[in-house]
Structure 1
């Protein structure tokens, strides 16, 4: 079993995320922490395989927790997945530079988290199959570095990070979003969001449904395909 530490300042949210973890085959919740200091102690005491780390904590922010984990030889090997409502580019960049495996934006569905946990499980198995001293082939490296991302051949002018933001917004709103609504959720411009939405529609990752009402052209609403 892969042991997970859930870190979130909100007790109810932590309980919900713990439920998501427990319902994913091969995973179990090793513990729950609600502050940064408690998270650091829990990692040292429980030695989990994976930490689901919130950014907004009442004492230390999540990025500080991540940096302290990486600076301590006893915890530097612990894998971290950030789960947070923080969507500013500076925080996302800090998580990437700090070695976070993935960044899930709240609110997200049980399916979105389960998919990332399953990717992590595949990566975990792969890493344990290879002895530390063995030379890895390029395909092994591709699995290790790409197991937690969906490989996309994005058109020129589209970025992977922004595509992830728009994808998470759609996943978190199963009733669909218009381009304007998605722009508000992601804090991006409407024209920029529209390009990503149309890309997802063109590649069959999202479904477009027309909503009629009043006068004028029908509204295009985008729904992420499971």
Structure 2
């Protein structure tokens, strides 16, 4: 589970954003802060994986706060959510190493898409091992990692299927994946095959005594 700290001076906006995060598969709200001082204290105490950071705070500019947060936790990831549209602000945020910049107002779907991109593209880079070019492509938004979903596909269902695959201790058949995700076998098979095409899952064949071999799907193993 990826833990998220929400930093926004508006209590109601922070509450709405917390609700958006809770709707995203694989994410939970670690806490909420309304000032820079509260954010610093929360990062020390809660050690979140990701901060949703507003720029306009009552006691400090969010981009100045970003540097202070990184001094506490150099591995902390930050996604800026702000009404600020000045190009200088956007450039400074990008140079500060944020994972995304989302402008207010936005919908739950807008945030969910950014969170899902973060989970799929950035989080794998925190693990040990080596990265493949497609891993890097996903971070920078090029290559197959950013191609549109096939017709009839849902980003939420795709995320759910991949999450169930990640949670599994062993390879799953389409039937098993469907049961865990609460969708039909046909739909599960389509999503699983898509994940394999994208390099985000692996498939192997299990041969029985008679009939066609069964396709088993598993999360992608890290390169040696």
Match of 2:88 in 1: 90
Q: d(CA) in 2 for partners of 1:110 and 1:82?
A: 15
Match of 1:43 in 2: 43
> Does the alignment pair 1:29 with 2:37?
no
Contact 2:7–2:34 under 8 Å retained in 1: yes
Contact 1:4–1:29 under 8 Å retained in 2: yes
Unaligned runs of 5+ in 1: 153-226
Distance 1:76 1:20, change over 3 A: same
3-state SS of the aligned residue for 1:83?
strand
Match of 1:144 in 2: 139
Match of 2:73 in 1: 75
C-alpha offsets along residues 177-196 of structure 1, whole Å, 9 cap, x if unaligned?
A: xxxxxxxxxxxxxxxxxxxx
Contact 1:85–1:106 under 8 Å retained in 2: yes
Q: d(CA) in 2 for partners of 1:25 and 1:43?
A: 22
Contact 1:126–1:144 under 8 Å retained in 2: no
3-state SS of the aligned residue for 1:76?
coil
Match of 2:193 in 1: none
> By how many angstroms is 1:142 displaced?
1.6
Q: After the TM superposition, which residues 9-28 of structure 1 pair with which residues of structure 2 at under 5 Å, given as runs? A: 9-28=9-28
Q: d(CA) in 2 for partners of 1:144 and 1:102?
A: 10
Match of 2:152 in 1: none
Q: d(CA) in 1 for partners of 2:36 and 2:123?
A: 29
**RMSD value, Cα:** 1.9
Match of 2:58 in 1: 58
> By how many angstroms is 1:145 displaced?
3.3
Unaligned runs of 5+ in 2: 148-224
> By how many angstroms is 1:141 displaced?
1.8
Q: After the TM superposition, which residues 1-226 of structure 1 pair with which residues of structure 2 at under 5 Å, given as runs? A: 1-70=1-70, 72=71, 74-128=72-126, 130-131=127-128, 134-146=129-141
